[in-house]
Structure 1
Amino acid sequence: MADVIERAREAVSERADLPGMSLMDHLDELRKRLIRAVIFLVLGMAIAYAFHDKLYGLVQKPLTDLHLQLNFTHPTDGLNLSLKTALYGGAILASPFILYQVWLFIAPGLYQNEKKYVWPFMAATVGLFLLGAWFGYRWVLPEGLKVLIFGFGKNLNPIITIEDYTSFFLAVILGLGACFELPIVIFFLALFGIVDAKFLWKNVRYAIMIIFVIAAVICPTPDPFGMVLFASPMLALYFVSILVAYMVHPKRREAKSKAA
């Protein structure tokens, strides 16, 4: 931990020569990016609301494939369902534009040669999230429902409400989508020189332990198979992250430029 903190301090000091911005300039820039991000989100919600019935048909499909129906316990559940579907669907639609605003906010703190990563960053961020969401939708969610409903609840009568199922669905999809962003997090940590491939490889056993703890927390089923199913892609992504850290770490880029 001390090594990581020291590297972070060195990374900050190395960027002291970049063009500075006052606190008010930073706040003004943040306000501008937030406003534009909200506008994109609202536009995405409007588009998603126009197709909210089809969108929720996709959300409900893992349950209907098991010949189960949803129930509601409050008169406003149907309205809340439409609004939530529009919100999350709109957020996914607007995510490339929102991420671009994030990039524009942090761009002044990057060197010119580092700004070339904007399009790979956006493509990788959106792509990895969608890959994680698809993995959860295609494999984890259906198998989790089977185990929980027809396994542990085989002697019970399932009454699944809209609120409970939606929360369960989002926990799986968003949880795995976020976990698949690990290479992006490592990318930035390595880009700023905070971690490198050697550090990540040296601490791989601790990473494996942390990954299995995270998998146990976000896994919707209590069985070991479900935890392994969650942890396996995260382990693979961790080793991909080691390669990413090796490629973008400042020391490697400097050595490469000297060799050229």
Structure 2
Amino acid sequence: MNRDPSHASAGTDHDSDAGAEPRLIDHLIELRARLLRAVVGLLAVFLVLMPFSAQIYGLLAAPLLANLPATGQLVANDPAGGFFVPIKLAFFAALLISVPWLLYQAWAFVAPGLYHREKRLAVPLLVSAVALFYIGCAFAFFLVLPSVFGFLARFTPDVVAMMPDIGKYLDFVLVIFLAFGASFELPVALVILVLLGWVTPQQLRDSRGYAVVGVFVIAAIITPPDVVSQLMLAIPMCLLYEVGIIAARWLVPQKAESDATP
């Protein structure tokens, strides 16, 4: 007895759907486990840092206090600010410290579905992205903040007592950290654009003048309204743009670049 082809096709589709559903459930279970591990790791670091939140805030306030008069100090306009602001800082510090762990959980989830070449390229990019973000934050803390506060203190009238609010100071520093940390990711972003085929290293070199103008515009927007912080962000970004071009040329074969160039 001949079997109806339509029935055979329907049976094949049914088997395929039945096999896809358990795989989807397995992926969701794996995703839930990775998210749970990420959250547990973040909370563990936060709980470790929370007893030292006041000391961490004192360390963060050192660049400002070093440029205040002997009688200068930070104040808490909110009655509960002296308690909640250091805890807020402890959470963000825990988040910053936990970035490698969080990225590892994300990598462990997506890595099984990647090809060998994709894994070989993704690992250096992830490591470089984390390292550059930390370098950007360190650059902001050790060089930018002391220079900015020194510049602002010199131009503050003597009749004005500088007593910044601890909450506003924390928000200001976090914005600076985020701005410099994200800006230092420029080489990784350029390499990714080249790997995706959206631009070539030659196009990046040809657009160097426009990139410099754009860098200075971005620096003027995301930094405080002083020329010191703008220059201290714009100049490293220009150098990192060149680093991104060099890295992209090293990763992309010259033949592929010449073929992609019109």
Tell me the TM-score range normalised by the shorter chain. Answer: 0.7 to 0.9
Please, what TM-score do these two structures have when normalized by structure 2?
0.78
Letter in 2 for 1:204: R
1:43 maps onto 2:44 in alignment: yes
**Cα offset, 1:254, TM superposition:** 7.2
- Structure 2's unaligned 5+ residue stretches are 1-19, 258-262
Change (3 A) 1:40 1:195: farther
Gap change, CA 1:157 and 1:54, over 3 Å in 2: closer
CA contact (8 A) 1:100 1:122 kept: no
Change (3 A) 1:193 1:36: farther
d(CA) in 2 for partners of 1:208, 1:65: 33
Q: Secondary structure at the match of 1:56?
A: helix
C-alpha contact (below 8 Å) 2:67/2:153 kept by paired residues: no
Establish whether residue 60 from structure 1 lines up as the match of residue 61 from structure 2: yes
* Aligned match of 2:168: 164
* Preserved CA contact (<8 Å) 1:96 1:122: no
Q: 1:238 aligns with which of 216, 232, 241?
A: 241
Paired position in structure 2 for 1:221: 225
8 Å CA contact retained: 1:103, 1:118: no
Counterpart CA distance in 1 for 2:57 and 2:114 is: 41
Q: Identify which range, 195-204 or 135-144, moves more after superposition.
A: 195-204
Describe how 1:53-132 pairs up with structure 2 within 5 A.
Answer: 53-67=54-68, 68-107=72-111, 110-132=114-136
Which residue of 1 is the match for residue 260 of structure 2?
Answer: none
- Give the RMSD, CA atoms, in angstroms: 2.8
Cα distance per residue 1:40-69 (max 9 Å; x no partner) = 221221222133233212101112212431
- Give the C-alpha shift of residue 71 in structure 1: 0.2
With structure 1 as the length reference, what TM-score do the two structures score?
0.78
Q: CA deviation at 1:132?
A: 0.8
Identity of aligned residues (%): 33
Deviation, structure 1 residue 164: 1.3
Is 2:220–2:230's contact at 8 Å kept on the other side of the alignment?
A: yes
Contact 1:49 1:85 (C-alpha < 8 Å) held by counterparts: no
Aligned to 1:4: none
User: Match of 1:139?
Assistant: 143
In 1: Cα distance, 2:25 partner to 2:235 partner: 44
Unaligned regions of 5+ residues in structure 1, if any? 1-20, 256-260
**1:148 corresponding residue in structure 2:** 152
Q: Displacement of 1:25 after TM fit?
A: 6.7
Distance in structure 2 (CA, Å) of the matches to 1:106 and 1:210: 34
Quote how far apart the aligned CAs of 1:247 are.
Answer: 2.2
Sort the Cα spacing of 1:198 and 1:42 in 2 relative to 1 into closer, same or farther, 3 A. same
Matched-pair contact (CA < 8 Å) for 2:73–2:162? no
Larger Rg computed on CA atoms: 2
Match of 1:193, as an amino acid? G
* Change in CA separation of 1:110 and 1:204 when aligned onto 2, cut-off 3 Å: farther
Q: 1:34–1:252: structure 2 CA closer, same or farther, 3 Å change rule?
A: farther
Look up the SS of the partner of 1:80 in the other structure.
helix
Whether contact under 8 Å (1:33, 1:105) holds in the other structure is yes
AA aligned opposite 1:240: V
For residues 182-201 of structure 1, what are the structure 2 equivalents within 5 Å? 182-201=186-205
Q: Which amino acid aligns with 1:228?
A: L
Shift of the alpha carbon at 1:109?
5.8
